[in-house]
Structure 1
Amino acid sequence: MTKYKLMALDMDGTLLNEWSEISDENAIWIHKAQAAGVTVCFSTGRGFMSANPYAHQLQLVTPMITVNGSEVWSKPHELLKRTEMDVAMIAQLHQLAGEYPDAWFWAYTTEGIYNKEKWIGKQRKLEDYTWLKFGFHTENDKERAEITEELIKWDAFEITNSSIWNIELNPKGVNKAAAIQEVCKFLNIDISEVIAVGDSLNDIAAIQACGLGIAMGNAQQEVKDAADEITVTNNEDAIAAIIKKHIFGQ
């Protein structure tokens, strides 16, 4: 029997193919892993409302990690832990975004996502919301580097990404690895008994912290460099391949 008791799966670029679908093969083997006693947990930068339909599709009633770890759920709709972003920091980030008019920005709240085209209305204040994550998107490498350099100076954030074009910001200390540790406490298992799988910089902390860290074949190079193993791409039923190999020894 496998020594692994939990699989923490990134979604976009990992569990999901390029059409944002869970392949039949991945679904079949996730169900087999669960039947063998392995807990399958989403570990995603998505918010709960965006991730939950996929959990419903797989009939998962297991823990979920959303917004890069700012929210940890014991099961869908049952919150275990939430870490908020400071409102003053959101104000500063919004101001910084205004200095780069060609860049896109967005922010997660518990009510939904606000962005460059749809920011909060004049009738409400930043303090009226519970903020979870802020992000920038620009395909201008110079702009992205300048924004990142400025954010590093603030020394206030976990600075990651979920694509090569974006910058994702969570409060310092909030990342997928810390969230997986919370799930491990809840399940009464050790993080050495976890397989973490991902493709982007927001997956590196988890890949390094867990017992087995696996990078996707389509992962960013830094993620591959941090991983114990590299699997096939997200269009090649990678999760099924991992389960066959590391859960069932096939």
Structure 2
Amino acid sequence: MGKYRLLALDLDGTLLNDRSEISNTNAKWVRHAVEAGVTVCVSTGRGFPSALPFAEQLRLDTPMITVNGGEIWTKPHSLHRRTLLDSQKVMKLHALAEQHDVWFWGYTTNDIYNKERWVGDTITSHWLKFGYYTENLPILNEILKEIQTWDGLEITNSSPYNIEINSQGVSKASALEEVCRMLGYDMSEVVAVGDSLNDIAAIRASGLGVAMGNAQDEVKAAAKVVTGSHQEHGVAQVIQNYVLRT
């Protein structure tokens, strides 16, 4: 095996194509990496229930990072650590969404809620993440400027048209550092691949940070390498060109 022992893969816009599928090419090369002894870790903004089918498709029994690092799993169904988002802050975030009349959603430890179906009791729910979505960028920027003045929040995105909020200190980077502690790896042995702002910290902190060809410009600027797009099997290219190259 080469110098990289852990491959951390974002899902949407990275491992998945625009039909939310893992291409046969990507799947084949992920299996080659696993067979070579590389630990492949799903690292996503998705919640565990929607991330799990992709880990199962790839037959991964390895750590998972979900809701941007709000949850770390030693393997599927085995929770290692969970970091909650303060429910009072969720009430404020929800009120701001209502004020601007934009689409919003929130992950609890049990379910996903959104503009069409909101939880009755916000305070006693155990929150992991809150998000906004609108293609009206001036409105999105207004929301962003407002919440940037609040304390205790980690603010990123998973597309140019959304904002994702976790508890301060929660990120894919801090989660990867914990996964490395669990496995006895060093961050210099990690390859992190992603396309959005919620991937930047991990891309910067890893031995090899890779931006997808379809990544936001800020992500490409933070990365050491830019690979093909999610439509061009960019993950497979990373595995061939860097992970399995000795």
2:243 counterpart (230, 243, 247): 247
Aligned-pair distance for 1:127? 3.0
Q: What is the match of residue 77 of structure 1?
A: 77
Q: Give per-residue Cα distances to partners, 1:110-138, cap 9 Å, x unaligned.
A: 111101100013xxx22332100000011
Q: Which runs of 4+ in 1 moved over 6 A?
A: none
- Alignment partner of 1:56 is 2:56: yes
Q: Give per-residue Cα distances to partners, 1:162-183, cap 9 Å, x unaligned.
A: 0110000011110000000010
Aligned-pair distance for 1:44? 0.2
Q: Secondary structure at the match of 1:90?
A: helix
Contact 2:17 2:231 in 1 (8 A): yes
Alignment of 1:156-167 (within 5 A): 156-167=152-163
Q: What is the match of residue 18 of structure 1?
A: 18
Q: In 1, Cα distance between the equivalents of 2:187 and 2:53? A: 27
Q: What is the match of residue 30 of structure 1?
A: 30
Q: Secondary structure at the match of 1:3?
A: coil
Q: What is the match of residue 180 of structure 2?
A: 184
Q: In 1, Cα distance between the equivalents of 2:37 and 2:60? A: 13
Q: Secondary structure at the match of 1:16?
A: coil
Aligned-pair distance for 1:156? 2.1
Contact 2:194 2:203 in 1 (8 A): yes
Q: Give per-residue Cα distances to partners, 1:230-250, cap 9 Å, x unaligned.
A: 000001111111111112228
Contact 2:87 2:124 in 1 (8 A): no
Q: In 2, Cα distance between the equivalents of 1:248 and 1:10? A: 19
Q: In 2, Cα distance between the equivalents of 1:166 and 1:46? A: 14
Q: What is the match of residue 137 of structure 1?
A: 133
1:209 counterpart (205, 210, 216): 205
Q: What is the match of residue 91 of structure 1?
A: 91
- Alignment partner of 1:238 is 2:234: yes
- Alignment partner of 1:197 is 2:198: no
Q: What is the match of residue 168 of structure 1?
A: 164
Q: In 2, Cα distance between the equivalents of 1:225 and 1:184? A: 25
Q: Secondary structure at the match of 1:153?
A: coil
Q: What is the match of residue 109 of structure 1?
A: 108
Aligned-pair distance for 1:186? 0.6
Q: What is the match of residue 120 of structure 1?
A: 119
Q: Secondary structure at the match of 1:154?
A: coil
Aligned-pair distance for 1:106? 0.4
Q: Give per-residue Cα distances to partners, 1:144-170, cap 9 Å, x unaligned.
A: 111000011003211110011000001
Give the TM-score, by structure 2 length: 0.98
Q: Cα RMSD (Å) of the superposition?
A: 1.0
Q: What fraction of aligned residue pairs are identical, expressed as a percent?
A: 57
Q: What is the match of residue 67 of structure 2?
A: 67
Q: In 1, Cα distance between the equivalents of 2:79 and 2:32? A: 26
Q: Give per-residue Cα distances to partners, 1:166-204, cap 9 Å, x unaligned.
A: 000011110000000010011110011000000000000
Q: In 2, Cα distance between the equivalents of 1:93 and 1:187? A: 36
Q: In 2, Cα distance between the equivalents of 1:17 and 1:75? A: 24
Letter in 2 for 1:117: E
Q: In 2, Cα distance between the equivalents of 1:116 and 1:81? A: 28
Q: Which runs of 5 or more residues in structure 1 are unaligned?
A: none
Q: How many correspondences in the alignment?
A: 246
